[in-house]
Amino acid sequence: MTEQQSGIKKILSKILIWLPSIAIILFYIPNALDKLVNHAQTGKVVESTAVMITAGAFILTGTALFLYNKTMLIGTSILVLYMAFIVLIHIYKGKPVEIVILILMATIFASYIRKPDIFHRN
Beta carbons within 8 Å of 64's beta carbon, 6+ residues apart = 75
Its domain, for residue 111, covers: 7-119
Angstrom distance (rounded) from CA 57 to CA 36: 7
* Residue 66: inside a domain: yes
Predicted structure pTM score: 0.86
Angstrom distance (rounded) from CA 48 to CA 83: 19
* Residue 21: inside a domain: yes
* Residue 47: inside a domain: yes
Mean pLDDT of the chain: 88
* Residue 1: inside a domain: no
Tally the domains of the chain: 1
In this predicted model, what pLDDT tens digit does every residue of 1-35 receive, in sequence order?
677 778 888 899 899 999 999 999 999 999 999 88
* Residue 2: inside a domain: no
Angstrom distance (rounded) from CA 103 to CA 94: 18
pLDDT over 80 at 87, yes or no: yes
* Residue 54: inside a domain: yes
* Residue 58: inside a domain: yes
